[in-house]
């Protein structure tokens, strides 16, 4: 079947997570993604760990279905090859250090003079201007700057999210920005410049707590895995040591929770708990009542009662339990992709589409496609050998 981005070529000067996550999703939709890496070592994310058959967990997640081209862009011949490649590309994505791409003549302003249809997406920590432009930006630092740490954790200690939320947010907005630019180019015939910052991406995701603290109002308190303003809403331990997440949204559910789950219908009218505001105010007293009931039940029994009452609930799964999740298995979300170390499982992208199948090709070895790509650009065997001897590829 034809995929949405079949025929689109993306060149990416990428490392770590934000840009690779963006471009992998473009590859999922059929785009040809050429990943430019440093000769020998490649993307430094390849060395983050060795948990997946000797390969890094971050890297295998964000780099399937790509081609790897090694170029030492400090060498003129290698940079010239890249610029030749951009003449055949639709999109350039880069998340190099601030200003690095522009110093190599790879700014949108310079490239658009030669390639007016080219879409250029720059991903950075803070954006291309402003007082923070040149600051280094890692995920933890942006989670801090965007206020996520201030509302995440326990009352005693802030915590970062356990995944790279700022990188993921920036990668998602870069991805959707490029899709929008491709649609716009189909109407205007012109490329676009997309300037995505990690700070602005994560700040957008902070909309609720920002408005909750509108005009100097107190921000949401840190409540670990519980909700800051709705109760009961969060983790509760069953008698067998398992943890069940549950959440109540309205008074009808509160009455059902008392009748079916706690088996104490009279509790629904207790003056301490007859509105969400009161339940939130007296959460410690209510927590003690809930835990006393759950102490006599195992995890499955608690879930059964919650399901019977139609109260939203979930198990707090470990990574091993997510690997084996029955819903993912039933919907056949796991597939196999190739890699330099052999086949590994990979999740299909979210969102089934009955018009096409997602591209699920192999994760490349460093420089695996260098010779083939250079031959496409007209380089012969002798020229490629000279580049290799000079360490340019």
Residue among 125, 80, 127, 133 nearest 106 (CA) = 80
Could you give the CA distance from residue 159 to residue 335 in angstroms, rounded to a whole number? 33
The answer to whether 362 touches 339, Cβ cutoff 8 Å, is yes
* Coil, helix or strand at residue 247: strand
The answer to whether 201 touches 165, Cβ cutoff 8 Å, is no
Please say if 227 is a catalytic residue: yes
Q: Extract the tokens encoding 137.
A: 């930006």
| Residue 165: CA count within 13 A, CB half-sphere | 22
* Coil, helix or strand at residue 82: helix
227, 282, 325, 369: which is the annotated catalytic residue?
227
Could you give the CA distance from residue 316 to residue 299 in angstroms, rounded to a whole number? 11
Could you give the CA distance from residue 60 to residue 223 in angstroms, rounded to a whole number? 34
Q: Which residue has the tokens 């490392």?
A: 15
Chain centre to alpha carbon of residue 100: 24
Chain centre to alpha carbon of residue 164: 7
Q: Which helix (H) or strand (E) holds 278?
A: helix 276-281
The answer to whether 389 touches 74, Cβ cutoff 8 Å, is no
- 246 — alpha (psi -120 to 50), left (phi > 0) or beta? beta
Q: Which residues are catalytic?
A: 227
């Amino acid at each position: 079947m034809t995929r949405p981005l079949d025929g689109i070529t993306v060149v990416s000067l990428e490392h770590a997570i934000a840009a690779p996550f963006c471009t992998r999703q473009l590859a999922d939709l059929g785009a040809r993604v050429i990943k430019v890496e440093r000769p020998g070592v490649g993307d430094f994310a390849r060395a983050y760990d060795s948990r997946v058959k000797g390969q890094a967990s971050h890297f295998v997640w964000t780099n399937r279905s790509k081609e790897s081209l090694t170029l030492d862009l400090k060498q003129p011949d290698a940079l010239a090859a890249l610029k030749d490649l951009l003449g055949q590309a639709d999109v350039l994505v880069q998340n190099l250090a601030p200003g690095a791409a522009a110093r190599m003549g790879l700014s949108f302003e310079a490239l658009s003079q030669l390639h007016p249809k080219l879409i250029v997406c720059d991903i950075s920590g803070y954006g291309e201007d402003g007082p923070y432009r040149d600051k280094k930006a890692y995920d933890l630092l942006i989670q801090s700057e965007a206020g996520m740490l201030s509302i995440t954790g326990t009352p005693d200690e802030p915590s970062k999210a356990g995944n790279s939320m700022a990188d993921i947010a920036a990668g998602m907005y870069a991805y959707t920005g490029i899709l929008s630019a491709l649609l716009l180019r189909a109407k205007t015939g012109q490329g676009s410049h997309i300037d995505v910052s990690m700070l602005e991406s994560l700040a957008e995701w902070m909309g609720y707590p920002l408005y909750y603290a509108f005009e100097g109002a107190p921000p949401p308190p840190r409540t670990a895995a519980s909700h800051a303003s709705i109760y009961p809403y969060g983790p509760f331990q069953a008698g067998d040591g398992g943890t069940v997440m549950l959440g109540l949204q309205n008074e009808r559910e509160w009455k059902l929770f008392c009748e079916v789950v706690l088996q104490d219908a009279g509790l629904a009218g207790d003056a301490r708990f007859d509105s969400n505001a009161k339940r939130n105010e007296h959460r410690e007293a209510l927590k003690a009542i809930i835990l006393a009931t759950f102490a006599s039940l195992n995890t499955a029994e608690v879930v059964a009662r919650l399901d019977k009452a139609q109260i939203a609930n979930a198990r707090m799964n470990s990574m091993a339990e997510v690997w084996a999740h029955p819903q993912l298995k039933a919907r056949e979300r796991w597939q196999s992709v190739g890699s330099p170390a052999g086949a590994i499982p990979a999740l299909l992208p979210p969102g089934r589409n009955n018009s096409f199948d997602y591209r699920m090709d192999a994760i490349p070895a460093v420089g695996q496609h260098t010779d083939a790509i250079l031959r496409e650009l007209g380089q012969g065997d002798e020229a490629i050998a000279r580049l290799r001897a000079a360490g340019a590829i």
